[in-house]
Structure 1
Amino acid sequence: MMFTTVDYVIFALLLVLSSAIGLYYALSGGKQRTTQEFLLANRSMGFFPVALSLLATFQSAVAILGVPSEIYRFGTEYWFLGCSYILGLLIPAYIFIPVFYRLRLTSTYEYLELRFGKTVRICGTVTFIFQMVIYMGVVLYAPALAFNAVTGISLWGVVLTMGLVCTLYTTLGGLKAVIWTDVIQTLVMFAGQLAVIIVGTAKVGSIQDVWNISMEHNKISGINFNPDPFTRHSIWSLGIGGIFLMLSLYGVNQAQVQRYLSSRTEREAILSCYAVFPCQQLVLALGCVTGLVMFAYYQKNPIPEMVEVPDQMVLYFVMDILQDFPGLPGLFVACLFSGALSTISSAFNSLATVTMEDLIKPHYPSLTESRATLLSKCLALMYGLLCLGMAYLSSLMGSVLQAALSIFGIVGGPLLGVFCLGFFFPFTNSIGAVVGLLAGLIMAFWIGIGSFVDRMAASSPALNATVIPDMGNVTTTVMTTLLTSAAATKSLSGLKKFHSLSYMWYSAHNSATVVIVGIIVSLLTGPMKGRDVNPRTVYLVLPRLLFFLPDRYKERLRFGVPHIAEDKTNLDIDEKSCNGFLNGNAKGADKDDMEETTPGFSRPDGGHSYIVQETSL
């Protein structure tokens, strides 16, 4: 099962096209001469390319390899993750995107300085960099390993080729190149998955045969209502835990927020979030159907073959069923690598952005635009090379799907928590935010690393290989290692029991830790005065949820945060005020910036309040 010349041509065309898009945007338009163009595409993007880029950024090879493998081994229970997409995307559209867009940010972590101060901003930035560097290694290594296993092409040759091509077009073309290559790569992903499903279903017999075989072997899962948080998957962990995971991805992650901020208008940014919802459901459905087709096929056509890790099974299956169709294996491999390229390029660009905006510019305010742009490109190049080094460590992380989601739960959960502190609890202060973030990270790594160590101790070298044997039930040996590991975690007791917490709860558990600790510490160290809070950095959820209360009670639920005039036709109304906060002016804007029209809320220290009269839209 080797590539034909046609397969190599199709695969090479993808790499050439991606590089050509980067070269085009490097030589056209503004030629990436400003940081606004390089990092935010001059805020000129429409909602459709932004939506596809949002989709591609975190689905990628993780979904293409991981979801079918998950369904093959455990059945369709993972499909219920789609329930979390509703709130997981509606909340960012209604709450996070409007706040970020109206503040005219470049880095998401600028928000943390506006709300809490420079220390919290730096802590958030460093945490994000750590998260994305590890994640890049998973995304780069997993498809390269699978590709090497079934084609025999050098593993590190594939890793190096992907990393260099991705680094090239990201460094040359900036965010515009990243978004438009994401669009092309997303379409290639859909085409590759559809080709596999159609041909695989035909070889099994029909979609009805696929369903019947899956039913016979209990692969069509019902709803598991078990509330035990240590159960790997249930409707609660997938539905509720999944909401927090989606919020950490689509609500506050720099790679996604940067795409919202590149939109022409706030409305386009919100529409892009809405458009992701059906696309997410489609990608999840395609992955689940691919897993069922793969399972049904190997029940009817068992073939002896050694597969070292479960995520190699998908590409092995593809090479098996498409070997009589020259070009289609190349299309699927292009699909697989499209996903990896889109994710990695997004990571390079977002890492360059936060490093420039949060760690360099504040210390070198006189940096010229041309030097800042050149430095941003160098940073993208540096992170590209670092990604190649991280790929080596990813071989220790097991299943690509669980590894990827665990990373976002372990590190993304605490980041989500600190943003929730800022958005929804106006009385929390910077000390509470820092201590809460540290507590969330400590809790996250204790559970995550403990789980990894226990899982490694429970596995013996003899059980680390997954075999597709020449026998009727191919799932027996696939499950051996996982069952051994599960038995080990069930024997844990006391605090170590938390090591077996479902990875789908990581984000919810860790963000909740940050919020609870942050609130307690803020109250103990002196809560922040509402009049000192920039009202554009908070979303007062309690007055909205309890809209039926009398006005005087709803006013108390504002915690003293002043009213502002929300003029949606002028999104820059408070830009001066925000700049004042970034320069350390926590006392408020000048009188020219904010109009004081409500004497009852004047500040006792004589400073200027943020209160302006409510106006109708």
Structure 2
Amino acid sequence: MRTLPILDLFVIILYLVAMVAVGAWFSRKNKNADQFTTASGRIPGWAIGLSIYATFLSSNTFLGVPGKAFGSNWNSFVFSLSMPLAAWVATRFFIPFYRQTGEVSAYTHLEHRFGPWARTYAVVCFLLTQLARMGSIFFGIALSLQALTGYPMATIMVIVGTCIILYTVMGGMEAVIWTEVVQGVIKTAGAFIILWLVVDGMSGGVDRIVAIGRTDNKFSLGSFAPDFTQATFWVILLYGFFMNLNNFGMDQNYVQRYHTTTSKREAARSVWLCVYLYVPVSLVFFVIGSCLYAYYQTNPDLMDAVRMQVATERLPNGSPAAIRQLAATLQPADVGDKVMPHFMVTRVPAGLVGLIVAAILSAAMSTISSGMNASATVFSLDIYQRYINPALSEKKALRLLYLATTFFGLLGMLTGIAMIGVKSVLDVWWLLSGIFAGGMLGLFLLGIISRTTRNAEALTATLIGILVIVWMTFSAQLPEEYAFLRNPLHQNMIMVVGTLTIFLIGVLLTRLRRPKPAPVETVA
């Protein structure tokens, strides 16, 4: 830990103040709920594309991806490779559907198809997914800033969260989008700055990095064997396709943006712009992780320092001997999330630290602000106005959105505080999002594709799907005598199996319901 130089502190404070100022600037336009949630449909497609890209490029990417590459390989990059196929499905089918219905909420359609229970179930799953996402991002940003400042992680979350709440509540969706445009540029520049610093400080340069990476199999995309019990290429590809389909197809964060553009064509262009930017830039973060691995392998004293830091955090009251003993047993996978913050503390020169921290802050703030706005919109439309007071005036609807945005911001902050001490922020996010999103996506696909499925079939399929998801998630906790009942598949398959279970069982029940055609009598 160290005290940040005045110049770096000035850059960070300037960035936070600027974000709040943007929210104050756009607050003048928020005269009604439509402006707050969709910016009245006047945002150009390129800005929406950069906004979606910035939402994808969260602090989970900024810190979690290099940590995964450092501790293992490029297996998680397969998630990015699945994006083009999911984007094609979304632009071909989902965007035209949403633009035609005109519904701001992604979940109103489910009530039209299957009844209020379906809409409520999807809303609950979405809100839980958002809490998991915001919490993991709060945790990621606090993890990095703690290493730089020495302040408690909870304190950092409160300070950063307050700034995010202020500019999101004041500015609404238009402020969120335009700040994300700026944040997308800042965080991309930050990634390339970190990459340059690591390579520049590496003895032997790129050739040495490649040699070490090849020797230790750091560039592998995973096994291509048809094995779904491990994080193989195919497991990550399937998980990535279904999760990105959920993101582009029914995540309120993205669906809400489709309504802020001027046309269906602009909305589709925004999705493809996000894909064109995110896939190569996410690769940069894997390259950073591999470069950091080579750097720390050639500087074993620095690697020992990281191990000691992690061991001290795991044994805060342990003796020096116990801490040293634990540190000696830690592997690269155990310290991955700590490496980039440690590199910034020890190797990044004064002046650049502030810029990189601003980039990490922008990575966190863009995703959290989007989650807050989308959660508030869903709560307002799908819960409050659906069940409590459907006849809200424009003034009261806007006030409700302000309060809901603040509430979900605070709840996300508390979720992040509860995550303090987890091993891998990226693994936690992938697990929680797969649990909550699997059932939601399966029900949505059933409603879109199977036009003859009725309420009873959909409800039955959803209940069975929930039971399958619960079993796959928690069966690993069963005692040894019941080991045969444990889920044999990798945890990322929860999303895939949960989605397919609801969809396929719904289709099967629909077919079983159809009466068989009467036999045709032939005339002799």
- TM-score, normalized by length of structure 2? 0.88
Contact conserved, 1:410 with 1:441, CA < 8 A, in 2? no
Corresponding position of 1:314:
340
Corresponding position of 1:577:
none
Question: Distance between the aligned counterparts of 1:175 and 1:56, measured in 2?
Answer: 14
Matches within 5 A, 1:318-397: 318-322=344-348, 325-363=349-387, 364-395=389-420, 397=422
Question: Which segment is superposed worse, 199-208 or 410-419?
Answer: 199-208
| Counterpart residue type for residue 506 of structure 1 | I
Corresponding position of 1:503:
491
Matches within 5 A, 1:128-143: 128-143=126-141
Q: Judging changes above 3 Å, is the alpha-carbon distance between structure 1 residues 79 and 386 closer, same or farther for their aligned structure 2 residues?
A: closer
SS across alignment from 2:9: helix
Contact conserved, 1:56 with 1:186, CA < 8 A, in 2? yes
Deviations 1:46-93 (A, max 9, x none): 111211211222330011111111111112232333321121211111
| Counterpart residue type for residue 485 of structure 2 | L
Deviations 1:11-45 (A, max 9, x none): 11221111111100002xxx211111001111111
Q: Judging changes above 3 Å, is the alpha-carbon distance between structure 1 residues 13 and 434 closer, same or farther for their aligned structure 2 residues?
A: farther
For the pair 1:512 / 2:513, whether they are aligned, the reply is no
For the pair 1:25 / 2:22, whether they are aligned, the reply is no
Bigger helix share: 2
Deviations 1:309-351 (A, max 9, x none): 53122211222221xx212112112111211111111111011
Contact conserved, 2:472 with 2:487, CA < 8 A, in 1? no
Contact conserved, 2:70 with 2:336, CA < 8 A, in 1? no
Question: Distance between the aligned counterparts of 1:150 and 1:346, measured in 2?
Answer: 26
Question: Distance between the aligned counterparts of 2:8 and 2:465, measured in 1?
Answer: 47
Contact conserved, 1:123 with 1:434, CA < 8 A, in 2? no
Question: Distance between the aligned counterparts of 1:341 and 1:287, measured in 2?
Answer: 19
5+ residue gaps, structure 2, are: 311-334, 518-524
| Counterpart residue type for residue 344 of structure 1 | I
| Counterpart residue type for residue 385 of structure 1 | L
CA positional deviation for 1:4: 1.1
Question: Distance between the aligned counterparts of 2:514 and 2:246, measured in 1?
Answer: 26
1:158 to 136, 156, 161: 156
Q: Judging changes above 3 Å, is the alpha-carbon distance between structure 1 residues 312 and 182 closer, same or farther for their aligned structure 2 residues?
A: same
Corresponding position of 2:468:
443
| Counterpart residue type for residue 515 of structure 1 | F
Matches within 5 A, 1:249-328: 249-302=247-300, 303=302, 304-305=304-305, 306-308=308-310, 310-322=336-348, 325-328=349-352
Q: CA RMSD in A?
A: 2.2
| Counterpart residue type for residue 484 of structure 2 | G
Q: How many pairs align?
A: 485
CA positional deviation for 1:117: 2.2
CA positional deviation for 1:391: 1.7
Question: Distance between the aligned counterparts of 1:131 and 1:241, measured in 2?
Answer: 16
CA positional deviation for 1:527: 6.2
Matches within 5 A, 1:464-483: none
5+ residue gaps, structure 1, are: 458-487, 529-555, 557-617
| Counterpart residue type for residue 74 of structure 2 | T
Corresponding position of 1:542:
none
Corresponding position of 2:182:
184
Question: Distance between the aligned counterparts of 1:435 and 1:407, measured in 2?
Answer: 23
Question: Distance between the aligned counterparts of 1:414 and 1:406, measured in 2?
Answer: 14
Question: Distance between the aligned counterparts of 1:11 and 1:503, measured in 2?
Answer: 38
Deviations 1:482-524 (A, max 9, x none): xxxxxx9xx99522143xx323322211100111232244455
Question: Distance between the aligned counterparts of 2:239 and 2:414, measured in 1?
Answer: 31
2:456 to 431, 434, 437: 431
Question: Which segment is superposed worse, 14-23 or 108-117?
Answer: 108-117
Question: Distance between the aligned counterparts of 2:235 and 2:450, measured in 1?
Answer: 26
Deviations 1:180-236 (A, max 9, x none): 11111111111111111011101114222211121122222265211111112x221
| Counterpart residue type for residue 13 of structure 2 | A
SS across alignment from 1:240: helix
Q: Judging changes above 3 Å, is the alpha-carbon distance between structure 1 residues 210 and 513 closer, same or farther for their aligned structure 2 residues?
A: same
Contact conserved, 2:157 with 2:417, CA < 8 A, in 1? no
SS across alignment from 2:498: helix
Contact conserved, 1:248 with 1:507, CA < 8 A, in 2? no
1:76 to 74, 77, 92: 74
Contact conserved, 1:14 with 1:334, CA < 8 A, in 2? yes
Matches within 5 A, 1:26-175: 26-27=27-28, 31-175=29-173
**Identical-pair percentage:** 28
Question: Distance between the aligned counterparts of 1:162 and 1:193, measured in 2?
Answer: 21
Deviations 1:343-387 (A, max 9, x none): 111111011111111112234232111111111111111111222
Question: Which segment is superposed worse, 418-427 or 438-447?
Answer: 438-447
| Counterpart residue type for residue 50 of structure 1 | I
- TM-score, normalized by length of structure 1? 0.75
